[in-house]
Structure 1
Amino acid sequence: MDILLIAVMAANRIIGKNGIIPWHIPEELGFFKATTMGHPIIMGRKTFESLPDGPLPGRENIVITRNPDFAPPGAVVVPTLGHALEHCAGQSRVFIIGGAQVFREALPLATGIILSVLDQAVDGDTFFPAFDPHTFQETTQERFTGSLPFTVTTYRRVRPDLHPPPP
C-alpha cells in the first residue's frame, strides 16, 4: 500500500495557525481534491474539526483520536495511526492529510510525499516536519501561478524496502 503524505505549507514550513490553514487557494484545493478523490484520507481530530463542511466527500475519512466518545457522522474513528492503516489494508494508496502530529508519526512509514509549497512565508504556529532529502527523492514538480503562486513537488522514498512496516 502506498502511504502518501499530502500537505500545503508556506515557504517557512508553516501549515497552520490557531487550528486553521492561514490561506485559501482555490487552485491548491482543486489539486488536493483531484489527487485524493476515491482514496482513504487519514487525519487527526483537530484537522477533522477544522474542515468547514465536515467529512470530505468521495473519500473515506479516517480520524485518529484518543477520545473514545468522538463519533462524528461520516467518519471512521480509530485510536492510532496503526489502526488507521490496518483499516485501509487492501487499498492501493492512502493519504495522510494532517495535522502536524500525524505527519510526524506517519513520516517514517511514508512511501511518498506530495508537498505544495507557497512562494511566501506566513505567520503561524504549526509546521510540516522536516525530512531527510537523502530518504526521499524528488520525482515531479508542477508550478501553479494563480491567486497565490505555489509549486507542487512529489517525492518518493529512495529505498521503499527500508521503511519500517506499519505498526
Structure 2
Amino acid sequence: MISFLWAEDENRLIGKDNDLPWRLPADLKYFKETTMGHAIVMGRKTYESIGRPLPGRTNIILTHDSNYKQEGCLVLNSKQELLNWAEQNDSEVFITGGSEIFKLFIDEVDQLYVTKIHATFEGDTYFPILNWDDWTLISEKKGLKDEKNPYDYFFQMYKRK
C-alpha cells in the first residue's frame, strides 16, 4: 500500500528552501508515530535536508543518480524499483516528499495523511493538485494549539474511493 504523508498550509505550500516553512512540533511527533516501523520514501534533496536516516524506519531515497549512496538508507533509481520493493517488503510505504516524488506516485497512492495548517506562509514548494473527488475523509483530529504549536491544524486521513 502506498501512502502520502505531508503537512501543508492553506495554499498547498509544503516547503521553503528545502525545509519546512513553519515550526510545528506536534506534526513532527505525528510523522514519527505514523511512520515508525514502516518504510519512508523521499527524494535526495528531502533526505539531504534531514541529513540522516530516521531511526526505526526503512529510509528509501529515490534519485536518478545511480552512484548516489547513503549509509543506513536504501537508494532506488526508479518508480518501478520502488513499486517492486513495496510489493515485496512492507504493508504500507510512506511517500514523504518532496513535491516531485509526490507527483511521481500520484496515480498509485492509496491513502493520504495530511496535516492541514490553517495559516499561510512564504515558501517555494507546493503539494501537487489532487482531485479531492477521488478521496473519502476517514478521520480528522484537531491538533493541540499551544505555545509550541501556535497554529490551528488538523490531522486528516483519506482513502481513495
> TM-score when scaled to structure 2?
0.93
Of 68, 71, 96, 1:70 maps to: 68
Question: Separation in 2 of the partners of 1:118 and 1:133?
Answer: 17
Whichever residue aligns with residue 37 of structure 2, its letter is G
- Identity, in percent, stands at 32
* Alignment root-mean-square deviation, CA: 1.1
Task: Give the deviation of 1:61 after TM superposition.
Answer: 0.4
Q: Which runs of 4+ in 1 moved over 6 A?
A: none
Question: Separation in 2 of the partners of 1:101 and 1:6?
Answer: 14
Of 133, 148, 152, 1:149 maps to: 152
Please identify, of 86-95 and 12-21, the stretch whose mean Cα deviation from structure 2 is larger.
86-95
Taking the TM superposition and a 5 Å limit, the aligned residue runs for 1:95-134 are 95-134=94-133
CA offsets per residue over residues 48-106 of structure 1, 9 Å max, x none? 00104x01100000001111221011100011122122122241111000000000111
Question: Separation in 2 of the partners of 1:16 and 1:28?
Answer: 14
Question: Separation in 1 of the partners of 2:18 and 2:132?
Answer: 28
Task: Give the deviation of 1:134 after TM superposition.
Answer: 1.6
Does 2:16 align with 1:12? no
Question: Separation in 2 of the partners of 1:136 and 1:80?
Answer: 26
Question: Separation in 1 of the partners of 2:152 and 2:54?
Answer: 24
- The aligned counterpart of 1:83 is 81
CA offsets per residue over residues 28-55 of structure 1, 9 Å max, x none? 0001100000001111101100104x01
SS in 1 for 2:132: coil
Aligned length in residues: 156
> TM-score when scaled to structure 1?
0.90
SS in 2 for 1:24: coil
Does 2:57 align with 1:59? yes
Question: Separation in 2 of the partners of 1:116 and 1:135?
Answer: 18
